[in-house]
A = this chain, B = another copy of it.
Amino acid sequence: MSHKWEPNLSVDCVIFGFDVDQLKVLLVERTLRTADKKKIVFSDLSLTGYHIYEDEDLDSAAARIVKDLTGLGNLVLEQFYTFGALDRLEHPNDKLWHEQFGDVFSNRVVTVGYFSLLPSTNVKIAQKGRVVKWYSVNEVLNMAFDHNQILEKALSHLRYKLQHDAIGLELLPDKFTLSQMQKLYEAVLGTSFDKRNFRKKVAQMNYVVPLKEKQKGVPHKPAQLYMFSRDIFIRTRKERPYFI
């Protein structure tokens, strides 16, 4: 099946994962070689994006991109911002990159940013001939196009959602400990919390439910395991955040 796509509209997905104590983002290597393929002109990293097809809406395009790459569906996937600066494809490397595709791209591409949360960084990445890897969000500089800017905006959106929705729990495995949860919150928000106070706060979240099960095979006191109940969360959340 081949698709006709919109020349000046794309979707870029910022795919987040959480690994031990680091927030990660899934990136694709972009390597431009000379015509004879012998030498590398440059190599850098980019988000996972693609033009949208004429017969799909924005959410579907984002879901397709994530699915193609990770094989996973049914993930958190949320639009956060649209980027349309005139110079967003104007850096020298970006121009060289586009030249290899001839003239098929519009000189103006507006991209809609989505973020997606993966519950594990262990998923099999469907590579399709491109190198796709997890990077710590703190270590990526000089990405392709305006992708550093897009990542920054995705991060601030993620931080917001973490505090106002229960969205962070989508980044944890099905069964998790409160220490894992605390490390996630600390990694995303870039703070550290007092353990007791953190637990008091979590105790108020009735949708974080203790299981009758403990960690196994750890060389120290095993922790209580918890799960996230989407049901309870949806049923009990306040509709509007309060002002007073």
Residues of A within 8 A of B (CB): 6, 8-9, 52, 54-58, 79, 81-86, 108, 110, 112, 159-160, 162-163, 185, 189-191, 193-194, 197-198, 201, 240-244
Contact = CB atoms under 8 A, between A and B. Distances in A.
Contact of A82 (B6, B86, B112, B198): B112
5 contacts: A8-B8, A58-B82, A163-B243, A190-B240, A193-B244
Nearest to A86: B57
A198 B243 CA distance: 9
Contacts of A57: 84-86
The number of times this chain is found in the oligomer is 2
A200 to B, nearest CB: 9
A98 B226 CA distance: 55
Given A6-B108, A9-B84, A57-B84, 9 more contacts: A8-B9, A57-B86, A58-B82, A79-B81, A82-B112, A84-B112, A160-B241, A163-B241, A197-B244
A22 to B, nearest CB: 18
A86 B244 CA distance: 40
Contact of A84 (B52, B83, B159, B190): B52
Contacts of A108: 6, 54
Nearest to A81: B79
Most B C-beta atoms less than 10 A away, residue of A8, A81, A84, A108: A84
Contacts of A201: 243-244
B82 A82 contact: yes
Given A8-B6, A8-B8, A243 B185 contact: yes
A103 B173 CA distance: 52
Most B C-beta atoms less than 10 A away, residue of A9, A81, A162, A243: A243
Contacts of A241: 160, 163
A189 B240 contact: yes
A6 B185 CA distance: 42
Contacts of A185: 243
A57 B243 CA distance: 34
